[in-house]
A and B are shown apart, each in its own frame.
Chain A
Amino acid sequence: GAVVSQHPSWVICKSGTSVKIECRSLDFQATTMFWYRQFPKQSLMLMATSNEGSKATYEQGVEKDKFLINHASLTLSTLTVTSAHPEDSSFYICSATHRDGYTFGSGTRLTVV
């Protein structure tokens, strides 16, 4: 139980375009989801906390207008990287909470060329 599906697993996009990443809880309702970013050989950095039906709470230094988060249902949260640039290339991973803890998606490797 408590499976989180994240798509796509990897994506390559051109500079200036937008990319949407989906995070779905398959067998439970996720009131709260988290979005992390991870650079090579570094730890996970929390970008934002997403609560169903309300605006996301962004961590300090994370651009809200660049990283759009939508959590319109109890099973789906999306992260849209707008006007992507090469420095946005990274590994993005989502997480959803449930009574037994946190379950993570498999991550999305974004490469902006």
Chain B
Amino acid sequence: AQKVTQAQTEISVVEKEDVTLDCVYETRDTTYYLFWYKQPPSGELVFLIRRNSFDEQNEISGRYSWNFQKSTSSFNFTITASQVVDSAVYFCALSRMDSSYKLIFGSGTRLLVRP
């Protein structure tokens, strides 16, 4: 069975602080994709990253970085120098490497960045 766990329900930080959102996954598949999405108050889901199970290199995109560790089945997301606009719900998700297969979402982490 596939499962994604985001243990942090809510995180509150002050602007400019760094924050890490945790994601732990379970799957029996040897190949899979991992995703992060941002859901601002407006509701739409904004794609942030897709990672395949072959590639454990860390990824950096501006203030965002991702740490993928197969050994611990984790795919954590760090925002450096957080900003108020980063306030949103962030979802980690997992899928098989099959475009007809569904995305399995974690429960989400609500991030509040205070000025």
Pick from B43, B50, B105, B108 the residue with the most CB of A within 10 Å.
Answer: B43
In the complex, which residues of chain B have a beta carbon less than 8 angstroms from the beta carbon of A44? 45, 91, 105
Contact residues of B between 28 and 54, Cβ < 8 Å to A = 33, 35, 37, 42-45, 47, 50
With A43-B91, A43-B108, A44-B91 in contact, do A102 and B44 touch (Cβ < 8 Å)?
no
Query: Is A49 in the interface zone, CB < 8 Å from B?
Result: yes
User: What's the dominant secondary structure at chain B's contact region?
Assistant: loop
Task: Verify B91–A49 contact, CB threshold 8 A.
Answer: no
From known contacts A43-B91, A51-B100, infer whether A101 and B33 are also in contact, taking CB-CB under 8 Å: yes
**In the docked arrangement, what's the CA distance between A109 and B99, Å?**
27
B45 touches A104 (CB 8 A): yes
B43 and A109 contact, CB distance less than 8 A: yes
How far does the Cβ of A35 sit from chain B's closest Cβ, in whole Å?
10
Q: Which of A11-38 contact B (CB under 8 A)?
A: 31-32, 34
Complex Cα–Cα for A44 and B106 (A): 8
Contacts of B99 in A (CB 8 A): 31-32, 97-99
Query: Looking at chain B, what size class is its interface with the partner chain?
Result: 20 to 34
Interface residues of A: mostly helix, strand, loop or mixed? strand
**Chain A stretch 88-104: residues in CB contact (< 8 A) with chain B:** 91, 93, 95, 97-104
A38 to chain B, nearest CB (A): 8
Chain B residue numbers with a CB within 8 Å of A109 are: 43
A-B contact pairs, 25 of them (CB 8 A): A32-B99, A32-B100, A42-B108, A43-B91, A43-B108, A44-B45, A44-B91, A46-B103, A49-B102, A93-B45, A95-B45, A95-B103, A97-B100, A98-B99, A99-B99, A101-B35, A102-B95, A102-B103, A103-B47, A104-B37, A104-B47, A105-B44, A106-B42, A106-B44, A107-B44
